[in-house]
Amino acid sequence: MALLGLDPAGRWSVYHPEQGTLARLEAGQDQPLPVAIELDAAPGDERLYAVFCKSAASLASVKEALLRSADAPTLPAGCSHERHTLHKGAR
CB 26 within 8 A of CB 59: no
pTM attached to this predicted model: 0.86
Question: Where on the phi/psi map is residue 44: left (φ > 0), alpha (ψ -120 to 50), or beta?
Answer: left
- Cα–Cα dist 20/56, whole Å: 10
pLDDT tens track, the chain, 91 positions: 999 999 988 899 999 898 888 888 877 788 888 888 887 777 899 999 999 999 889 999 999 999 999 999 999 999 999 999 999 887 6
